[in-house]
A and B are shown apart, each in its own frame.
Chain A
């Protein structure tokens, strides 16, 4: 794994990994339900199966976020260098990126959990 994912990332984009996972998960939930409820096809496929599928998608999304969080945590030196990360050095910048990414992973994790709450309580397509 180490060889695939470098310990330090020289890009701004990793910051957005976890929120992007949230966005994809959200879009998947919304689109699946919207199409299922509008089309009602095939008839043999019940709404409960949709909920199960979306639960699995949720678990996968959470897995990816946890993985992103772990990478960020590693970049942050497993938490042994506290903020504010304001030194004029590349190291400090990397620590900042790690910490900010970790925080965003936390928020995204929560947001994905929130999005799964309706799946537990609402069992029909009805308006």
Chain B
């Protein structure tokens, strides 16, 4: 049973409790039902850490406006067509063939042609506006390289020269008010990088490097996911997004470069003893494995297991004892042969890394 799996990356609460709590929260339920019936887009229920209709970035904001406009237009057109259909079925008077023919010409051909031409022109104009050209070598924009792997995200922050400043995993931090370039890659299968609150998605395709620029406008903690089916645990491949004030962001960059993994020598020793370092890196220690996610400052992250579990000792311990049970198809081997005390100790070490 994976009932205690948790995927709400930003709200580290055991899911089971969460369900129970929701069940008892009558007020919340009523609100949810009410908002559904009043059509989500016009109400609070559009909001969410992963909602394209609750934008926190420029592209998402423009697209949400476009959607609401089209929704309104579409509703009117739909009502018109259905109204006509009802009228045609129920009318008393039979209309002449000539008038009916005119309806085809104007209603079926001319009207859609004009509306569609206008929409198409707007969208064609919007495309380079929401995703502007980079001038030359990215125009000095900040670059983050994200690699989709089955089923987690390798995130590398690049410095101005394009060299890797440091690596992390399953968490992306961006400054607000500044356009950031994401270089998107994949070593295994096709993934798709999507932060709905900031903008549209872009695929990560083996053998290609795709670029996506996004600009966050509203500070906050959000959630991104893999949008292209990538294998057994495609559903469990999410990440946390922090949009930060520029000065906080700079401070974080500095702190992150300096973080060391030797904060708990005993935990580190166990970590190294059981071979974790073969795959994982913890900066400032001997652990320099490159196969799995970098675990430096792991304790800072909003979630464990790529948005699958709350980042708490018990969950992390459970994950590293048997990753395949929580995340089917995950490449990490199980460690059920270790004494629980030791896995708990390693988990405590990891969640303590700042």
Whether the Cβ atoms of B127 and A122 lie closer than 8 Å is yes
Given A117-B117, A124-B133, A126-B134, CB of A83 within 8 Å of CB of B101: yes
Q: Are A114 and B120 in contact (CB under 8 A)?
A: yes
Main secondary structure of the interface of B (DSSP, over half): helix
Instruction: Tell me if A28 is interfacial: C-beta within 8 Å of chain B.
Output: no
- Is B210 located at the chain interface by the 8 A CB criterion? yes
The CA-CA distance from A1 to B57 in the complex, in Å, is 60
Asked if B128 is at the interface (CB within 8 A of a chain A CB), the reply is: yes
Identity of the chain A residue whose Cβ is nearest the Cβ of B129 in the assembled complex: A121
Interfacial chain A residues near B211, Cβ < 8 Å = 127
CB distance from A81 to the nearest CB of B (A): 14
Contact: B127 with A113, CB < 8 Å? Answer: no
Q: Is B72 positioned at the interface, with any CB of A under 8 Å from its CB? A: no
Known contacts A83-B101, A126-B133; A121 and B125 CB within 8 A of each other: yes
Q: Judge whether B336 is part of the interface by a CB distance below 8 angstroms.
A: no
User: Which B residue sits closest to A120, measured CB to CB?
Assistant: B124
Q: In residues 76-118 of chain A, which contact B (Cβ within 8 Å)?
A: 82-84, 106, 110, 113-114, 117-118
Give CA–CA (A84, B134) in the complex, Å.
56
Number of chain B interface residues as a range: 10 to 19
Q: Taking the complex as formed, is B121 at the interface, i.e. its CB lies under 8 A from any CB of chain A?
A: yes
A112 nearest CB across to chain B (Å):
12
On chain B, the residues within 8 Å of A106 by CB distance are: 109
Which of chain B's residues have a CB closer than 8 A to the CB of A123? Answer: 128
| Residues in A neighbouring B121, C-beta threshold 8 A | 117, 120-121
Residues of A within 8 A of B133 (CB): 124, 126
CB distance from B204 to the nearest CB of A (A): 13
B98 neighbours in A (Cβ, 8 Å): 82
Query: A122 contacts B134, CB within 8 Å?
Result: no
Interface residues of B in 98-126 (CB under 8 A from A): 98, 101, 109, 113, 116-117, 120-121, 124-125
**Known A126-B133, A127-B210: A113·B117 in contact at CB below 8 Å:** yes
- Give the chain A neighbours of B124 by CB distance below 8 A: 117-118, 120-122
Which residue of B is nearest A119, CB measured?
A: B124
For A83, the closest partner residue in chain B by CB is B101
Q: Are B117 and A114 in contact (CB under 8 A)?
A: yes
**A10 CB, min distance to chain B CBs, angstroms:** 28
A17 vs B180: C-alpha distance in the bound complex, in angstroms?
A: 48
Residues of B within 8 A of A84 (CB): 97
CB distance from A73 to the nearest CB of B (A): 16
CB distance from A69 to the nearest CB of B (A): 15
Q: Is the CB of B210 within 8 A of A121?
A: no
User: Could you tell me the distance between the alpha carbons of A120 and B124 in the complex, rounded to whole angstroms?
Assistant: 9
Measured between beta carbons, the chain B residues less than 8 angstroms from A124 are 128, 133
**Beta-carbon nearest neighbor of B127 in chain A:** A122
Q: Write out, one digit per residue, whether chain B residues 266-310 have a CB within 8 A of any chain A CB (1) or not (0).
A: 000000000000000000000000000000000000000000000
Let me know if A121 and B117 touch, CB within 8 A: no
Interface string of B44-81 (1 = CB under 8 A from A): 00000000000000000000000000000000000000
**Which residues from A are CB-within-8-Å of B113?**
110
Q: Can you give 5 A-B contacts (C-beta < 8 A)? A: A110-B117, A113-B117, A117-B124, A120-B121, A127-B202
Known: A117-B121, A118-B124. 15 other contacts (CB 8 A): A84-B97, A106-B109, A113-B117, A114-B120, A117-B117, A117-B120, A117-B124, A120-B121, A121-B121, A121-B125, A121-B128, A122-B128, A126-B128, A126-B131, A127-B202
B residues with a Cβ closer than 8 A to A are: 97-98, 101, 109, 113, 116-117, 120-121, 124-125, 127-128, 131, 133-134, 202, 210-211
Task: Please report A residues at the B interface, Cβ cutoff 8 Å.
Answer: 82-84, 106, 110, 113-114, 117-118, 120-124, 126-127
